[in-house]
Amino acid sequence: MPNMRMTKLPAREQDPNVRNKNFFEVSQGYDEEMAIDEAKRCLNCKHKPCVAGCPVNVRIPEFIQLVTEGKFMEAYDVIRSTNALPAVCGRVCPQETQCEEKCVRGIKGEPVAIGRLERFVADYAMAHGAKSAIPQPDNGKKVAIVGGGPAGLTCAGDLRKLGYEVTIYEALHTPGGVLVYGIPEFRLPKQLVRDEIKTLQDIGVKIETNMVIGRTITMDELFEEEHYDAVFIGSGAGLPRFQKIPGENLNGVYSANEFLTRINLMKAYTFPETDTPIQVGKNVAVVGGGNVAMDAARSAKRLGAENVYIIYRRSEAEMPARVEEVHHAKEEGIIFKMLTNPTEILGDETGHVNGMTCVEMELGEPDASGRRRPVVKPGSEHPVDVNTVVIAIGNSPNPLIKNTTPGLETQKWGGIIVNEESGKTSREHVYAGGDTVTGAATVILAMGAGKTAAKAIHEELSQNL
């Protein structure tokens, strides 16, 4: 008999007032007993709506059934067969708009906690020495992957399993992309990302760090000199956007990318033990309403800021951040200033931020995004006392590859143009996927795109095997 409890079993969590002072993971997930209990809520529906809601089509009811039987290693194999990074996805996927949104249990009550179960299974298997799948014998074809983030890692894993010689070229000193420079330790421990990447290296995926495609090697050279048969571009949306308001270049104003990279990739939270510094004032304003804004705000709090504000021009209902992240941020004491927009950042005589001018907004008619357009309330100008400002209003695709690759067509805003079914670009044998195509989106959508491209690359290259 399924467990008919209406609600998800909550995961174990660090107390908000303890965790907002440390960088350890917020959620401690389920133990075995909890996982089995929650798994029993799954009705094992024949039509499997949850699977259709997953960008990489994890066979969800199948793995959950194995969890109810305590067969955690087998459950892991089921997940791994379609998902290269289960421990990551179990933590950072927006399940509430994907698999869990489609769950039949969610019609009356809460859906099955699919994300928490995926995370449990992945953590269990990695702690108990899960074996990586054995790839097919080498087929003599070579594929280069540009960028070691979620899209590239997924594409690499899938192609390697099919017997391709796969090399990932990563511009930074560590592979992982946004998983290592963007998402904080307290949401996604970096050791876990390293472990997931190691499972790919164990099956023979090669990773070359410190290689900037377009600079160190160009796209043309990958084909002509390195003799690759195909290239997948998963270089992400790495160019931070600013608001273009006065004062944005004052000291103490960071892009969210810089703020989070200093903390996550360069471990600035252990300065001066590590050499990269960061400045976090008493009052910190984070401008933006996405997951990145939540990550920046919660990091600032952990680095000792007394007051951390999320400043967002629409209302909470329009915020793109996950409900869970907003909830966690509020629990940790982040102050939400909604319907507020900065118009100027003010500085002292040394060129450092010492204040901000904001206006209040009201919501008008829906705009192109379908969300109600925020308009300025006349006469609502007011000062906000801040010493550090983090701009988290999004990123554009990095133009480096576009600028150095003849024949690669892009949208006006910079995104690489692809055929959605295959990820094929305007250049022969070149595929692309993830944020570099869509603009900033989610880890799992990038993984889905990496998967799609891997399939299409295999279709193209296996024709003349």
Partner 1 sequence: MNKIVTRRTLHETVTLMEVEAPYIARKAKAGQFIILRIDEEGERIPLTIAGTDQEKGTVTIIFQKVGATTQRLDCLNENDFLLDFVGPLGTPSEIDEWKGKKVAVIGGGLGVAIAYPQAKALHEAGADVDIIVGFRNASLFILVDELEVACNNLYVVTDDGSNGNKGFTTTALQEQINAGVKYDCVIAIGPMAMMRAVCNMTKPLGIPTVVSMNPIMIDGTGMCGGCRVTVGGETKFACVDGPDFDGHLVDWDEAISRSRMYKKEEQLSTEKHSCNLMDVELQTKRGGN
Which C-beta is closer to partner 1: that of 280 or that of 453? 280
Helix, strand, coil content of the chain in percent (nearest 5): 35, 20, 45
**In the complex, least distance from residue 383 CB atom to partner 1, rounded to whole angstroms:** 22
Nearest to 159 by CA among 168, 170, 149: 168
Nearer to partner 1, 47 or 173 (CB): 173
Shortest Cβ distance from residue 415 to partner 1 (Å)?
A: 15
238 binds partner 1 (CB under 8 A): yes
Q: Where are the beta strands (DSSP E) in 88-133?
A: none
State the number of binding residues for partner 1 (CB under 8 A). 43
Give the one residue of 22, 209, 411, 462 binding partner 1; rule: CB under 8 A. 209
The torsion angles phi and psi of 134, rounded to 5 degrees, stand at -85, 125
Least Å distance, CB 432 to partner 1, is 17
Q: Which stretch binds partner 1 (CB under 8 A): 77-85, 193-201, 213-221, 288-296?
A: 213-221
Tell me if 397 sits within 8 A of 439, measured CB to CB: yes
* Pick 87 or 217: Cβ nearer partner 1: 217
Query: Is 400 a binder of partner 1 (CB under 8 A)?
Result: yes
Kindly state whether residue 411 participates in binding partner 1, applying the rule CB under 8 A.
Answer: no
At residue 336, φ and ψ (nearest 5 deg) are -100, 115
* Residue 210 engages partner 1 in binding (rule: CB under 8 A): yes
211 touches partner 1 by CB under 8 A: yes
Q: Does 171 bind partner 1 (CB under 8 A)?
A: yes
User: Segment near partner 1 (CB under 8 A), from 132-140, 199-207, 393-401, 420-428?
Assistant: 393-401
Q: How far is the CB of 273 from partner 1 (least distance, A)?
A: 7
| DSSP H or E stretch at residue 165 | strand 165-169
Residue 19 CA to residue 38 CA, distance in Å, equals 25
Instruction: Mark 246-285 with x for binding to partner 1 (rule: CB under 8 A) and - for no binding.
Output: --xx-xx-xx-xx--xx--xxx---xxxxxxx-x------
Alpha carbon distance 68, 75 (integer Å): 10
Within 162-255, residue ranges assigned H as helices are 178-181, 190-202, 219-224
Q: Read out DSSP for 86-143?
A: HHHHHHHS-GGGTHHHH-GGGTSSPPP-HHHHHHHHHHHHHHTTPPPPPPPPP-S-EE
Q: Which is nearer to partner 1, 75 or 390 (CB)?
A: 390
E-strand stretches of 315-427: 335-337, 340-347, 353-366, 372-376, 382-384, 388-391, 395-396
Q: How far is the CB of 239 from partner 1 (least distance, A)?
A: 5
> What token pair was written down for 410?
């892009």
Q: 434-464 burial by CB neighbour count: b if 16+ within 10 A, else e?
A: bbbbbebebbbbbbbbbbbbbbbbbebbeee
Of 242, 367, 377, 419, the one binding partner 1 (CB under 8 A) is 242
Question: Does 239 help bind partner 1 (rule: CB under 8 A)?
Answer: yes
Q: How far is the CB of 253 from partner 1 (least distance, A)?
A: 9
Q: Which residues contact 369 (CB under 8 A, 6 or more apart)?
A: none
Our CA angle for 57, 419, 392, nearest 5°, is 75
Q: Which is nearer to partner 1, 258 or 318 (CB)?
A: 258
CB atoms within 10 A of CB 415: 18
Interaction between residue 398 and partner 1 (CB under 8 A): yes
Q: Per-residue contact track with partner 1, 341 to 380, x per CB under 8 A? A: ---------xxx----------------------------
Binding segment for partner 1 among 52-60, 294-302, 328-336, 394-402 (CB under 8 A)? 394-402
- Which positions lie near partner 1, rule CB under 8 A? 171-173, 181, 209-212, 215-217, 238-240, 242, 244, 248-249, 251-252, 254-255, 257-258, 261-262, 265-267, 271-277, 279, 350-352, 398-400
